[in-house]
Amino acid sequence: MKLPFLKSVPGEDPVVVEGVFNTSATRLFRAWTTPDEIVRWFGPGDTPLLSARVDPRKGGLWEFAYSERDGVQDVMSGEYVLVVQDEQLIFTWRHERRFSSGNVETTSPSLVTVIFEDANGGARLRLRHERIVREGGRLGVGDGWSRSFSKLQRLVEDLAVDRQGNGPSGKASRR
């Protein structure tokens, strides 16, 4: 399977994901720091997030939770280490898998750096996810981020269409 945004070798540390989007760095930053937008693009598959909570300031916490499926709920969480409005986010990352039996598996904390830059009439988004202990975890994270970037690209395109006076579905309204 092709992962168009993945720039690092699959399974290696760090995981590097990068893309150019037809929007501004300010708009991309907002998509990363607004819960209603995060639930629309975050995650590798078609399963949407149940919730996204963010407090994008140094020391602020974030948490993204999926609905429970087959007795398992996945929750990603961490703390913002650095927030530079419209330019950079650095945050810790922990993946917790909660089982209906009460058991919980938690990964060691890793670190994510996201850089937002206006470039050539669009915006470049660079993500570096490092300190992931297991190779399988790095493979999953690389796949997840690349697929999330694809969904983010669709979101900003839909929002651009909506700004041009079209309907909320991203398709032109008929009047």
| pLDDT at position 82 | 98
In a domain, 10, yes or no: no
Q: What is the CATH number of the domain that holds 55?
A: 3.30.530.20
Q: Is the pLDDT of residue 175 over 80?
A: no
Q: Which of 123, 110, 144, 141 is nearest to 41 (CA)?
A: 144
In angstroms, the Cα distances linking 65 to 18, 38, 54, 61 are 24, 11, 12, 13
In a domain? residue 43: yes
pLDDT band at 169 (very low <50, low <70, confident <90, very high): very low
Q: Is residue 56 part of a domain?
A: yes
Residue 42 lies in a domain: yes
> Is 85 domain-assigned?
yes
Q: Are 142 and 10 in contact (CB under 8 A)?
A: yes
pLDDT at 164: 67
pLDDT of residue 47: 83
Cα–Cα distance, 139 to 27 (Å, whole number): 28
Domains of the chain: total: 1
Q: Is 8 a member of any domain? A: no
Question: Range of 47's domain?
Answer: 15-163
pLDDT for position 166: 54
In a domain, 6, yes or no: no
Say whether pLDDT at 149 is over 90.
yes
**Given a cut of 90, is residue 12 above it in pLDDT?**
yes
d(CA 124, CA 122): 7
Q: Quote the pTM value.
A: 0.90
Q: What is the mean pLDDT of residues 77-97?
A: 98
DSSP 9: P
In 3-158, the DSSP E strands lie at 15-21, 49-54, 61-66, 72-84, 88-99, 104-106, 110-119, 122-130
Determine, yes or no, domain membership for 5.
Answer: no
